[in-house]
Amino acid sequence: MNTIKKMTRREVIKQTALLTGYALTSSMIQGILTGCQPTSAAAEWTPEYFTQDQADFVSALADCILPRTSTPGALDVGVPAYIDMMVKNLLEDRERRAFMLGLKETEALAFNEFGNSFMTLPRKQQEELLIKIESAEILDEIDRRESRPQEWSFPFFLRFKQMALAGYFTSQKVGMEVTNYDPIPGAYKGCIPMSEVPKGRIWSSI
């Protein structure tokens, strides 16, 4: 038998850290726990903090991480707008500066690696670049933790990925269409066969 859990906001925090292998910052945890969630799809989004070029770049990055498949993608559930809100309202000043610098560095790496802007690269090259960045950040973090454990760190792509995942799993559309959603829950059943779970999905309380 498998234990079935509701996807609470605390569970979103745990799952996001698990999927990235990296602990969330206090500002990101605060954003999730206080109920921040995407409110609009990409077509309806006007950035509040980013310039339009930065917003387009953020959208392209989010779409690489969570593309539309048989389930909604990042752009379908408003993940870029969620990231815009997080950066504007919840990140600390040094986190915000590190995030914006990370956007610039990612664009510079696209030119260094492929001779073109990230936005104009084929999807395969975009994915190759992001995999390279993530791998480098992971290795850097391992080295930092071993040699300078007290040093503050904000690895850009790992944090961006966390924001994208948090925005995705706290969205109403994913809560209702990807995970199981029961607006009027019945009796609690802590341990039931997976065959009895609708579509084999985890539960959502978003």
188 is written with which tokens?
Answer: 């609690």
**pLDDT tens for residues 120-159?**
999 999 999 999 998 888 888 778 878 887 776 788 988 8
Predicted confidence (pLDDT) per residue in 30-51, tens digit: 656 565 556 655 556 789 999 9
pLDDT at 54: 96
pLDDT value at residue 9: 53
What is the percentage of the chain residues whose pLDDT exceeds 70? 61
Of 146 and 189, the structure prediction assigns the larger pLDDT to 146
Rounded to 5 degrees, φ, ψ at 13 are -60, -50
Residue ranges of the alpha helices (H) in the chain?
A: 9-20, 26-33, 52-65, 79-89, 93-114, 123-147, 156-169, 172-177
Average pLDDT over residues 154-181: 74
As given in the structure block, the two tokens for residue 142 are 């391992």
- SS3 assignment, position 181: strand
- 7 three-state secondary structure: strand
Which has more confidence, 79 or 203? 79
pLDDT score recorded for residue 49: 96
Query: Rg (Cα) of the chain, in Å, rounded?
Result: 18
Q: What is the pLDDT of residue 6?
A: 40
Strands 180-181 and 203-204: parallel
92 CB neighbour count, 10 Å cutoff? 12
> By three-state DSSP, how is residue 53 classified?
helix
pLDDT band at 186 (very low <50, low <70, confident <90, very high): very low
* For residue 60, pLDDT beyond 90: yes
- The structure tokens listed for 26 are 């206090």
179 within 8 A of 7, measured Cβ to Cβ: yes
Task: Please answer whether residues 62 and 8 qualify as being in contact, where contact means their C-beta atoms are separated by less than 8 angstroms.
Answer: no
Beta-bridge partners for 6: 203
Predicted TM-score (pTM) of the model is 0.70
